[in-house]
Amino acid sequence: MNSLLDVSVSIDGADSGLYPGDRSRLPLDTRKALCKLLSGPFMDADHPSWPALLRDEETVRSRLSELFLQLVVDRERKVAFTRQADTGELDTPVLLRSKPLTFLESVLLLDLRRVLIEAEGQDQRAVVAAADIAEQLNLYAGALGADAVTVRKRVDAAIDKLRGAGMLRALRGGEKRYEVSPVLRLLFTVEDVEALGKIYQTAAKQGYVQDQSASEDDDDE
């Protein structure tokens, strides 16, 4: 004798998910793409679920919209990420939390974005040597009078933070080099770059930027 319980069990068994209690109909690879976009900071073509994102882009976009998030996909640069949707006057929760940048990290981002734009203009990969990054950052490595050990630690910390965020990817080879991720140009709008520029200008006025000519004079001595 069939009962309502029997029918319920039969239906659940016929429409089982990926695990007990699963109620989603999304394929596994699409769910992994969604998880990567939510965990951030971005997703690129090297991720195994990149094809799934392109295949089910509208579905993923819809799921993110339910969380007041916007999906940004650049098929040419092969990168994607999420950002808070502009909900106007709606009182909506904020799921994505931004981390403040130090002055040195801001300078590094500005310089890497410049390198990326120049490389893209020549249809080349944006590759920078670790020694060149360090040399550039040494000019802005903190308050005047900082000792060499402190300067080196600040420079290394700035590079490590951007590596951890996926903005810099170490390349194989004898010379220590990094490739700048194309997402850097998309993550930071013109307004963001202008804001970073103002931070630099303010710091310069307050004496946090070493003058390059003065530094060279000290080396000659």
Distance between CA atoms of 28 and 31, rounded to whole angstroms? 5
Residues composing the chain = 221
* pLDDT value for 174: 65
Residue 181 CB partners (closer than 8 Å, separation 6+): 42, 44, 79, 166, 167, 168, 169
* pLDDT value for 146: 63
* pLDDT value for 30: 97
Mean pLDDT of the chain: 79
Per-residue pLDDT band for 41 (boundaries 50, 70, 90) equals confident
- 127 and 59 co-located in one domain: no
- 137 and 190 co-located in one domain: yes
Per-residue pLDDT band for 202 (boundaries 50, 70, 90) equals low
Kindly tell me if the per-residue pLDDT of 11 is higher than 60.
no
* pLDDT value for 31: 97
Per-residue pLDDT band for 186 (boundaries 50, 70, 90) equals confident
* pLDDT value for 9: 41
3-state secondary structure of 190: helix
What sections of the chain are H helices per DSSP?
4-14, 28-39, 50-55, 57-65, 103-121, 130-138, 148-164, 183-187, 190-205, 212-220
3-state secondary structure of 79: strand
Domain residue limits at 61? 27-84
- 64 and 171 co-located in one domain: no
Query: Per the structure, how many domains does the chain have?
Result: 2
Q: Is residue 145, in this structure, part of any structural domain at all?
A: yes
- 212 and 122 co-located in one domain: yes
Q: Is residue 115, in this structure, part of any structural domain at all?
A: yes
- 76 and 129 co-located in one domain: no
More confident residue, 203 or 130: 130
What CATH number is attached to the domain comprising 74? Answer: 1.10.10
